[in-house]
Amino acid sequence: MPPLSYKYSETSIRFLIFLSILGLFLYPILHGNFYYPDDYYRSATGDISCTQTGRFLAQLIFITINASNIAYDLSPLLQVLAIIFLSFSLASLSLKWKLNRTSSALALSLTVCTPFFLQDLSYRFDSLTISMALSCIIWFFILEKTFTSSYKKILFKSILLLSALNLYQPTLNTFLIFSITESLFILYDKNARYSIRSLVANILYLPIPLIIYKCEVIFRKDESYSSLHAQFTHNSFIILNNIRKLLKYAFLEFGIHGGGLEILLGIFLIIGLTNLLYTFYKKGKLPYLSLSLFYIILSICSLAGFLSLLRYPVFDMRVFIANGAFLSIFMLFFIGREASFQKTPIKILLASWVLLIQMTFSTQWGNAIAAQTELNEAIASNIVNDIYILSKQRPVFIRIEAQHKTVNNITTIATQTDDGILDVPVPFITKKIWLARRAIFDHNVIYDPLGEFILKKHDLQSNATYFRSIDESSQFPFALAQNIYEHCSYEAMRANRYYNIYKKGSYILVDFSHKCNE
């Protein structure tokens, strides 16, 4: 057993390695300095609102950091703290799994360096608590031999899982995949019996934290969002359909819907899968091959994981955190736990190239969203100015017309949203990247910001009341908005390159399709 001083110095070295890699992955987000859709709401209102999504511990952490119930924009501090937590956790896990530095850097870094985790790191407010949730999952596997008492170990591990649920629920899928990774290591080092026992033992930690968390959500039944998305279903048709849709989304990273780099990652996934199966076939012939194949199928299902059991799961890139851990399984067995450039230079070069692809995703994501945000901000500023001019500073009611057919020309991308088919301006740089990169296309960045809170960020007058196009209101009824839009019935208008804005009485309608022209 290495001396304690070596363990601490080695952890420090690995921490710095991971911090450098994750820092490079995060840099395009920090350089872009953009507001992700949810950030506009918190910046405008100061509302932390984590309890609405069932993340009660995240709410407490925000209150502690700010010493207030008001959310303050602390970016990039929270994002930097996020990768510090993750770097230390991954450094400790690499020692627990007995990986050398090269294997740690090239394989475990993929846990975070995945295109779907880019959305989570982009949140100016939530990035820290989401990363802490993933860190809780990682530490579940680090602390195996820390406790001499089995009761203390059960208690502490259960607390880690419960904390992860209260910080960010989708990280439980990563727990499933890490459990499978650990069982594959045990299968290779020992035998099938110990491997299966390890997997079952880890799974048995789940029921108590899940039951406690379910009780938390029920107790706070006033929060409709968390209650809605915490509802489980027993309908096998719904579950199978959820699995199909979730896996279809998860495999965007591996070229299922095209994209040059995504297809190359998919090819590596096939190579890694073949290598893993061959490795276990050599180790224990057909029995080991069969069990390893079962574990792989289980890991694929874990990408959908607990989300598939929900009646109303969220289909968005931020919930597919487990993709990184999934890819790391195949990388670990491809390069081995003692990877060396001298022994296997081609494997190391290929592994480095896979990590470089993730860095490319990050850079393109940062550039695309920064360009889109810059345009959104300019449009919002113009809308606020136009409202000020048309209203003559009197009280007004505002809608942004979103339910119209798209022309989908070079300046726009059509996207289906809850509000209908939205056709809003997208800069050339962003469109070019998103059309090439299927794994990082995110309609939220186009659609969500063009609303109340980005307008408030640009000092929308206090006597202006905003309504989403899907919200009926006696103050600005659908029928009136439709009359203005369909019949070009207005008293005044201002034309802009990207939109027309119409005023009728105390009502203002913003139209991105330029329906009416003077």
Q: Residue 208 to residues 155, 181, 212: CA-CA distances in angstroms? A: 10, 23, 6
Euclidean distance between CA atoms 345 and 342, whole angstroms: 6
For residue 340, what are the contacts with CB-CB under 8 A and spacing of at least 6? 100, 102, 348
> According to the model, what pLDDT value does residue 171 have?
94
Residue position matching structure tokens 């990169």:
437
Sign of CA dihedral 94, 97, 100, 104: negative
Q: Considering the entire predicted model, what is its pTM?
A: 0.90
Euclidean distance between CA atoms 106 and 221, whole angstroms: 44
> According to the model, what pLDDT value does residue 316 have?
81
For residue 185, what are the contacts with CB-CB under 8 A and spacing of at least 6? 97
- pLDDT reading at 228 higher than 70: no
> What is the tens place of the pLDDT at every residue in 280-312?
999 988 999 999 999 999 999 999 998 888 888
- pLDDT reading at 124 higher than 50: yes
Q: Which of 429 and 14 is assigned the larger pLDDT?
A: 14
Q: Of 52-61, 279-288, 406-415, which one has max mean pLDDT?
A: 279-288
Residue type, 421: I
For residue 146, what are the contacts with CB-CB under 8 A and spacing of at least 6? 153
Question: pLDDT tier at 411 (50, 70, 90 boundaries)?
Answer: very low
Question: pLDDT tier at 410 (50, 70, 90 boundaries)?
Answer: very low
**Three-class DSSP category at 75:** coil
- pLDDT reading at 404 higher than 80: no
Question: pLDDT tier at 416 (50, 70, 90 boundaries)?
Answer: very low
Euclidean distance between CA atoms 300 and 244, whole angstroms: 11
Euclidean distance between CA atoms 438 and 76, whole angstroms: 27
> What is the tens place of the pLDDT at every residue in 481-492?
888 888 888 999
Of the listed ranges 261-275, 283-297, 376-390, 411-425, the one predicted with least confidence: 411-425
For the record, the structure tokens of 106 come out as 């090239």
- pLDDT reading at 438 higher than 80: no
Residue type, 428: F
- pLDDT reading at 479 higher than 90: no
How much is the average pLDDT of 240-252?
Answer: 91
> According to the model, what pLDDT value does residue 284 have?
87
Average pLDDT of the chain is: 86
Q: Which of 169 and 225 is assigned the larger pLDDT?
A: 169
How much is the average pLDDT of 77-99?
Answer: 96
Question: pLDDT tier at 402 (50, 70, 90 boundaries)?
Answer: low
> What is the tens place of the pLDDT at every residue in 127-157?
999 999 999 999 999 987 666 678 888 899 9
Question: pLDDT tier at 415 (50, 70, 90 boundaries)?
Answer: very low
From 121, 116, 117, 111, select the one nearest 29 (Cα to Cα).
121
**Three-class DSSP category at 508:** strand
> What is the tens place of the pLDDT at every residue in 349-376?
999 999 999 999 999 999 998 998 888 8
Question: pLDDT tier at 414 (50, 70, 90 boundaries)?
Answer: very low
Question: pLDDT tier at 222 (50, 70, 90 boundaries)?
Answer: low
What is the DSSP secondary structure assignment for residue 105, as one 8-state letter?
H
Q: Which of 112 and 256 is assigned the larger pLDDT?
A: 112
> According to the model, what pLDDT value does residue 517 have?
72
> What is the tens place of the pLDDT at every residue in 324-356?
999 999 999 999 999 999 999 999 999 999 999
> According to the model, what pLDDT value does residue 148 have?
64
Annotate 256-291 with DSSP letters as a single string: TT--HHHHHHHHHHHHHHHHHHHHHHHHHHHHHHHH
- pLDDT reading at 229 higher than 70: no
How many beta carbons lie within 10 A of that of residue 506, not counting itself?
15
* Secondary element (H or E) of residue 457: helix 452-457
How much is the average pLDDT of 113-121?
Answer: 93
**Three-class DSSP category at 174:** helix
> According to the model, what pLDDT value does residue 426 have?
80
